């Protein structure tokens, strides 16, 4: 553990990423207390105002304060990110575990299924499903989750395949431990690290997908602010309201970037193969 | 003596010539600068799906098809009906028989002459049950269709039907010699149409553009603009960028573009903007089967809680006017003196209280019988104006204690699963108003079955009678009286909160001359637009 | 099968590769089947019928007329039958008729044989994606190698960061910013479409230039995200290879650093990259939905989006299937490439 920390701290970028991840989380939680305005308050006198004293990040096409909306938007992005990544990770772990542990036909079928899922362009799939079942925030989380579990599944499966034949597993079996127990207590615990990294990176990509969906108009519904749907009105007004396009875009960029840096940093720190040097 | 007579005659002639325009009532300005040539490119978000009018459900298709096909009659700028392919017509005194006499010598683009047989063919096709068209209804009212001679045909109706005359537009004009015996849905005609109109299709590159070349032997005179191109650009931001880059000459602006982005020197010098009330209105409809909305006071309270001027200012940037009923201002059926609902949240709260709604637990939401007043407004995705309108209404209603959720749905889901099945509480939509005031299908209590258009389930026997009256008489004054009364009742009953009539705000490159905005828009006289020779941009080889 | 002049070893290897190829192709079939099932399942998650877009909110349509329309489109048969009917035709690449777009066959909308190759939607998307992959490869590989050989240097840190930013940037945002900058403010590049208004009157050289200019922004936006991923992997792969024993051996033998890197290490480091390129195909195809929309490019992505919005079932299923097929082909090619490149590969 100590070694891990030392290694991790060496990677300054990853540390920065981690810090920002925490800060974003805090902001999201505190949003209702730190927002200067109610994010939904319409103000016909201050429509499409550039950043200024009253509205530090400007206002949108309904006169709403951009800063407040961005603060609340972080809640959506993070919520979708966490839950979608959570669903993906858990699904991936379960399926990967079952596949890796039992092997045989189960494994073959699962690999086939993963191949199928990987062959269809993910975004096409997500787009099609959302457009059909409707863009509620829960649908988005679930759909993104159920289309991004494949990487985790493969990872976990690989771990299981390699650990299955190790002594401590054989010993546990000899002692009469049930399959479930072996899976959970022994093998899973050992594969947590890369899974955790996957989850973090998954949050980042979920946020990107959600913003793309919201941008296309099939994401979060009004008046709920999401960085993606703020960018849509930014796009519509790109020539006269640069602030609407700039700030939410930067927000997405920084968030995704931090999660990626943090995740990659974790991976580098945890990767045993890089330990020798 | 003789010089005096001569002088008087000369002066008289000169005076008559100068005032010629007023006498005839039509535009007869000397066209000395009108030259042939050049191309005009219109940028559009939607692509036509087919160019056969009766098969098309979308406005993009009708826009383009309208340049290729003529109707029997069409609308003049003063909203009166004039002949397009028809030279004249007579209506029997009981209104049930119309005899049309067509213009002679009109040719299809392949040179064959257009005759009454073509109209009969079109009529037979549209009522054929094998034809998948949404427009059959008007033609099913016809009892008998007879071709009397090469250029004359007679239509007999089962009952007097006021919208009859105007129904003979371009939906039923098809070339019999090309389509007889063929299945029009399978033929190539939808992508390679032949019409009698001012333009003919030169090529259609799917997903990119539809190119129309002028019909040099058009019966109403060769169009001045040699080529008209519809360029398909599905993104509004890109569309506007293309306008500035010169890739397109014409497009429909959004209120923001009109107000904030087109007031620079660049725009003033190179473009002309137009603004006129569109033939449509946006409204919020209540599901009148919902127990809460059954109470008229609730509907009226909601109307008072909404500030229409705020919506028009914020969403339309002032480019529109409040709607008070289902007709557009300045048209003959429009009744300006109906009950209006000023923005008055206090009054709204009082009315709600009368109806039993009060905030008894201090949570900011009013309740009745223990239930909080909460409902969902549905509207379709992709329509920024409607979405913003819904958002503003949501915010305003929150201030009188009503909690509103907004749900955006994809168009066909909205219509099929929610509207048609009456599974909604409130909805924000718009109606495109036809030029004939008959709105039977929307307001009649009999039209409430699944998929019919009185989806709010409005029922008022007096309105029913008036609707019937309005469509069965041809007397304009009688019809006007009926429609005026209908508007009075609707304004009181408030099955919809009528929100606004938006302005149509197209923009065209300044080199295009001859555009005359009118109540029916600007494109009605497109064949008469021209670009002076030295301003022409494109050279079109015939 | 006697190939004159070839040694038995090469013959053997060729045979092995062929067997592998056939095996892979056969394996693809159940995958394809699964894909069609999945697409079909998705389509029917949706409530409502596709004929609605035709009838809209038009006061003129009667309920009878509507029913007739539905029957016409075959929507009244049970689902299993619909799937069976559809599957039979799919084998012939007949995806049925699109519900919108004037009821032309779906395949025609994707691959219009009446149009010149350059104008067919599938080809357009294909072209842009292939160009993107090329660009990604050409740029990411050197960047990755350099990063690996100069690990932790300033250069490495800068490229790492910029590559990460590329990974984190929403592509649609990037597209808009670039459009504004290069298209409007600077006026250097065209902002939409694939060719200019006056294309037909240009000379051949001008035509090529015109197309190139139009493709510049879309290809750049499309490849931007992939650049990040691939150069990162290149770096990682290279790093790993450089630590291998045989590299140390080569160094010990006294070979110049350059030969070590470019001769031995590179070849092995490239192998996973090839696979990765193949795996990036679905991502590229998926991303095309967004930028084709923004840049107004008449490709398959734009068609898919339109199909989704108009509930054009045959079109959606057709494109999903084609996209999947393309991906499978991409993977297959990647595998073949890998096999050809690696002399050590064991074909089971």
Inter-residue contact A18 to A28 (CB < 8 Å): no
Q: What is the 3-state secondary structure (H, E, C) of B8-27?
A: HHHHHHHHHHHCHHHHHCCC
Range with the poorest average pLDDT among A200-204, B12-16, C118-122:
B12-16
pLDDT recorded at residue C235 = 79
Q: CB-CB: which of A42, A61, A235 is closest to B256?
A: A61
| Chain C residue nearest residue A267, CA to CA | C236
pLDDT tens readout for residues C23-65 = 878 877 777 778 777 777 776 665 555 454 444 444 445 556 5
Note whether C100 contacts B205, CB cutoff 8 Å: no
Strands B320-322 and B496-504: antiparallel
Q: CB-CB: which of C172, C177, C320 is closest to A128?
A: C320
pLDDT recorded at residue B323 = 94
Note whether C327 contacts A245, CB cutoff 8 Å: no
Note whether C197 contacts B417, CB cutoff 8 Å: no
Note whether C46 contacts A13, CB cutoff 8 Å: no
> CA-CA distance, A259 to A21, in Å (whole number)?
6
The larger pLDDT score, comparing residue B11 to residue C92, is at C92
Note whether B395 contacts A134, CB cutoff 8 Å: no
The larger pLDDT score, comparing residue B398 to residue C17, is at B398
**Confidence label for A97 from pLDDT (cuts 50, 70 and 90):** confident
pLDDT at B519 over 60: yes
* A34 contacts chain C (CB < 8 A): no
Which residues on C lie below 8 Å from B134 (Cβ)?
Answer: 54-56, 58, 60-61, 65
List, in sequence order, every residue forming a beta bridge with B230; answer none if it has no partner.
Answer: B42, B210
pLDDT at C344 over 80: no
* C177 contacts chain A (CB < 8 A): yes
pLDDT tens readout for residues B76-123 = 888 788 999 999 999 888 888 999 999 999 999 998 999 999 999 999
Chains that touch C (3 or more CB pairs under 8 A): A, B
Q: What is the distance of C-alpha B327 from the center of its chain?
A: 12
Range with the poorest average pLDDT among A4-8, A211-215, B180-184, C319-323:
A4-8
- The residues in C 250-289 lying below 8 A from A, measured between CB atoms, are 279, 282-283, 285-287, 289
Q: Which of C173, C191, C294 lies closest to B248 in space, CA to CA?
A: C191
Sequence-distant (6+) residues with CB within 8 A of C122 are C110, C111, C299, C300, C322
Note whether C170 contacts A116, CB cutoff 8 Å: no
Which residues on B lie below 8 Å from C293 (Cβ)?
Answer: 234-235
- The residues in C 60-89 lying below 8 A from B, measured between CB atoms, are 60-63, 65-66, 68-69, 72
Range with the poorest average pLDDT among A44-53, C50-59, C199-208:
C50-59
Note whether A257 contacts C164, CB cutoff 8 Å: yes
pLDDT (average), residues A134-153: 87
Which residues on A lie below 8 Å from B392 (Cβ)?
Answer: 42, 62
pLDDT recorded at residue C203 = 81
**Other C-beta atoms within 10 Å of C132: how many?**
24
Q: Which of C60, C99, C218, C300 to mutate to test the interface with B (most CBs of B within 10 A)?
A: C60
pLDDT tens readout for residues B163-174 = 888 888 888 899
Note whether A48 contacts B382, CB cutoff 8 Å: no
pLDDT at C1 over 60: no
pLDDT recorded at residue C262 = 67
User: What is the average pLDDT value for chain A, to the nearest integer?
Assistant: 84
Which residues on C lie below 8 Å from A255 (Cβ)?
Answer: 168
pLDDT at A249 over 50: yes
Q: CB-CB: which of A40, A217, A236 is closest to B237?
A: A236
The larger pLDDT score, comparing residue B86 to residue C167, is at B86
Q: Which of B125, B128, B134, B248 to mutate to test the interface with C (most CBs of C within 10 A)?
A: B134
Chains that touch A (3 or more CB pairs under 8 A): B, C
Task: Report the sign of the C-alpha dihedral through residues A135, A138, A143, A145, in that order.
Answer: positive
Which residues on A lie below 8 Å from C171 (Cβ)?
Answer: 212
Which residues on C lie below 8 Å from A234 (Cβ)?
Answer: 176
Q: Which of B70, B82, B73 lies closest to B109 in space, CA to CA?
A: B70
Chains A, B: CB contacts within 8 A come to 59
Instruction: For residue A119, give how far its alpha carbon lies from the nearest alpha carbon of chain C (Å).
Output: 5
Provide the whole-model pTM. 0.76
Determine what percent of chain A is predicted with pLDDT higher than 70. Answer: 89
Q: Which of C346, C285, C34, B88 lies closest to A121 in space, CA to CA?
A: C285
Per mean pLDDT, which of A167-181, A253-267, C291-305 is the most reliable?
Answer: A253-267
pLDDT at B199 over 80: yes
Phi, psi of A148 (to 5 degrees): -130, 25
* C308 contacts chain A (CB < 8 A): yes
Q: In angstroms, how far is the first alpha carbon of chain A from the final one?
A: 18
pLDDT (average), residues C140-161: 78
Chains B, C: CB contacts within 8 A come to 141
pLDDT (average), residues A223-243: 83
Strands B73-75 and B271-273: unpaired
pLDDT at B496 over 90: yes
**Confidence label for B269 from pLDDT (cuts 50, 70 and 90):** very high
The larger pLDDT score, comparing residue A145 to residue A160, is at A145
pLDDT tens readout for residues C214-242 = 888 888 888 887 787 788 778 777 777 77
pLDDT (average), residues C6-11: 67
> CA-CA distance, C179 to C198, in Å (whole number)?
21
Instruction: For residue A276, give how far its alpha carbon lies from the nearest alpha carbon of chain C (Å).
Output: 10
Note whether B57 contacts C191, CB cutoff 8 Å: no
């Amino acid at each position: 553990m100590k070694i891990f920390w030392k290694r991790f701290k060496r990677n300054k970028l990853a540390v920065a990423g981690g810090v920002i991840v925490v800060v974003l989380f805090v902001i999201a939680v505190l949003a209702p207390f730190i927002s200067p305005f109610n994010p939904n308050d319409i103000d016909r006198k201050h429509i499409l105002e550039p950043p200024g004293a009253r509205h530090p990040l400007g206002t949108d096409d309904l006169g709403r304060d951009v800063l407040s909306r961005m603060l609340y938007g972080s809640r959506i992005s993070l919520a979708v990110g966490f839950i979608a990544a959570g669903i993906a990770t858990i699904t991936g772990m379960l399926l990967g575990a079952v596949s890796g542990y039992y092997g045989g036909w189960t494994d073959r079928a699962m690999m086939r299924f993963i191949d199928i899922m990987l062959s269809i362009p993910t975004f096409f799939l997500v787009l099609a499903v959302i457009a059909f079942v409707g863009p509620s925030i829960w649908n988005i989380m679930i759909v993104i989750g159920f289309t991004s579990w494949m990487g985790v599944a493969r990872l976990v499966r690989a771990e299981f395949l390699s650990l299955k034949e190790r002594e401590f597993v054989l010993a546990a079996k000899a002692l009469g431990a049930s399959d479930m127990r072996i899976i959970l207590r022994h093998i899973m615990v050992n594969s947590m690290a890369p899974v955790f990294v996957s989850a973090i990176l998954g949050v980042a990509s979920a946020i990107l997908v959600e913003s793309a969906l919201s941008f296309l108009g099939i994401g979060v519904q009004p008046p709920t602010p999401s960085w993606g749907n703020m960018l849509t009105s930014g796009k519509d007004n790109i020539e006269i309201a640069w602030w609407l396009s700039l700030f939410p875009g930067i927000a997405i960029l920084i968030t995704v970037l931090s999660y990626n840096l943090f995740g990659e940093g974790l991976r580098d720190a945890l990767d045993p193969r890089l330990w020798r040097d | 003596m003789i010089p005096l007579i001569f002088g008087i005659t000369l002066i008289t002639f000169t005076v008559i010539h100068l005032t010629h325009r007023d006498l005839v009532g039509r535009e007869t300005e000397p066209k000395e600068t009108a030259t042939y040539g050049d191309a005009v490119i219109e940028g559009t978000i939607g692509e036509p799906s087919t160019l056969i009018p009766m098969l098309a459900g979308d406005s993009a298709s009708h826009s383009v098809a309208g340049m290729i096909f003529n109707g029997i009659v069409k609308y003049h700028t003063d909203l009166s009906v004039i002949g397009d392919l028809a030279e004249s017509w007579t209506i029997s005194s009981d209104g049930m028989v119309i005899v049309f006499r067509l213009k002679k010598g009109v040719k299809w683009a392949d040179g064959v002459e257009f005759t009454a047989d073509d109209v009969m063919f079109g009529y037979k096709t549209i009522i054929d049950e094998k034809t998948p068209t949404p427009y059959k209804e008007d033609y099913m009212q016809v009892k008998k269709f007879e071709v009397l001679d090469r250029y004359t045909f007679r239509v007999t109706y089962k009952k007097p039907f006021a919208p009859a005359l105007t129904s003979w537009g371009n939906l039923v004009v098809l070339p019999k010699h090309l389509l007889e015996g063929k299945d029009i849905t399978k033929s190539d005609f939808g992508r390679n149409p032949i019409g009698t109109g001012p333009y003919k299709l030169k090529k259609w590159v799917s997903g990119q553009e539809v190119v129309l070349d002028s019909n040099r032997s058009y019966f109403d005179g060769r169009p001045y603009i040699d080529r008209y191109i519809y360029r398909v650009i599905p993104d509004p931001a890109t569309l506007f960028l293309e306008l500035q880059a010169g890739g397109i000459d014409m497009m429909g602006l959004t209120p923001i573009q009109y107000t904030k982005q087109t007031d620079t020197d660049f725009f003033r010098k190179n473009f002309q903007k137009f603004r006129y009330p569109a033939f449509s209105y946006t409204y919020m409809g209540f599901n009148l089967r919902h127990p809460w909305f059954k109470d008229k006071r609730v509907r009226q309270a909601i109307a008072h809680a909404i500030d229409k001027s705020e919506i028009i200012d914020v969403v339309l940037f002032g480019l529109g006017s409040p709607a008070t009923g289902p007709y557009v201002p300045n048209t003959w059926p429009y009744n300006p003196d109906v009950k209006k609902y000023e923005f008055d949240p206090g009054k709204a709260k009082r009315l709600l209280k009368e109806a039993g709604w009060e905030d008894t637990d201090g949570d900011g939401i009013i309740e009745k019988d223990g239930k909080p007043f909460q409902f969902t407004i549905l509207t379709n995705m992709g329509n920024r104006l409607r979405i913003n309108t819904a958002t503003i209404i949501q915010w305003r209603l929150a201030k009188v204690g009503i909690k509103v959720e907004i749900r955006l749905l994809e168009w066909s889901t909205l219509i099929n699963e929610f509207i048609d099945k009456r599974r909604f509480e409130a909805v924000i939509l718009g109606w495109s108003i036809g030029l004939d005031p008959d709105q039977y299908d929307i307001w009649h209590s009999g039209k409430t079955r699944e998929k019919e258009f009185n989806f709010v389930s409005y029922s008022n026997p007096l309105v029913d009678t008036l609707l019937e009256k309005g469509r069965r008489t041809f007397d304009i004054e009688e019809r006007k009286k009926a429609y005026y009364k209908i508007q009075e009742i609707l304004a009181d009953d408030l099955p919809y909160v009528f929100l606004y009539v938006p302005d149509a705000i197209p923009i065209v490159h300044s080199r295009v001359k001859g555009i005359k905005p009118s109540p029916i828009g600007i494109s009605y006289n497109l064949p008469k637009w021209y670009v002076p020779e030295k301003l022409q941009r494109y050279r079109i080889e015939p | 099968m006697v190939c004159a002049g070839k040694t038995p070893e090469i013959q053997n290897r060729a045979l092995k590769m062929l067997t592998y190829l056939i095996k892979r192709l056969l394996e693809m079939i159940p995958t394809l089947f699964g894909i069609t099932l999945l697409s079909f399942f998705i389509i029917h998650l949706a409530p409502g019928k596709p004929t609605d877009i035709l009838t809209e909110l038009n006061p003129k349509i009667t309920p009878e007329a509507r029913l007739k329309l539905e029957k016409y489109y075959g929507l009244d048969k049970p689902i299993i039958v619909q799937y069976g009917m559809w599957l039979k035709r799919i084998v012939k690449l007949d995806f049925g008729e699109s519900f919108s777009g004037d009821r032309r066959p779906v395949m025609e909308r994707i691959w219009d044989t009446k149009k010149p190759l350059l104008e067919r939607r599938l080809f357009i998307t294909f072209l842009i994606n292939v160009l993107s992959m090329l660009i990604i490869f050409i740029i990411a590989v050197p960047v990755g190698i350099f990063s690996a050989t100069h690990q932790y240097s300033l250069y490495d840190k800068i490229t790492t960061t910029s590559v990460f930013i590329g990974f984190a940037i929403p592509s649609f945002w990037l597209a808009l910013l670039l459009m504004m900058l290069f298209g409007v403010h600077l006026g250097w590049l065209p902002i939409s479409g694939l060719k200019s208004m006056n294309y037909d009157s240009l000379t051949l050289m001008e035509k090529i230039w015109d197309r190139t200019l139009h493709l510049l922004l879309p290809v750049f936006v499309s490849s931007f995200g992939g650049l990040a991923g691939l150069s990162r992997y290149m770096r990682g792969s290279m790093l790993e290879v450089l630590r291998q024993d045989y590299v140390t051996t080569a160094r010990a033998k006294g070979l110049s650093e350059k030969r070590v890197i470019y001769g031995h290490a590179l070849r092995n480091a490239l192998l996973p990259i090839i696979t990765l390129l193949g795996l990036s195909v679905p991502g590229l195809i998926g991303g095309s939905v967004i930028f084709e929309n923004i840049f107004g490019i008449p490709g398959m992505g734009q068609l898919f989006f339109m199909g989704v919005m108009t509930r054009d079932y045959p079109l959606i299923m057709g494109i999903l299937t084609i996209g999947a097929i393309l991906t499978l082909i991409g993977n297959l090619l990647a595998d073949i490439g890998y096999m050809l490149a690696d002399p050590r590969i064991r074909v089971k």
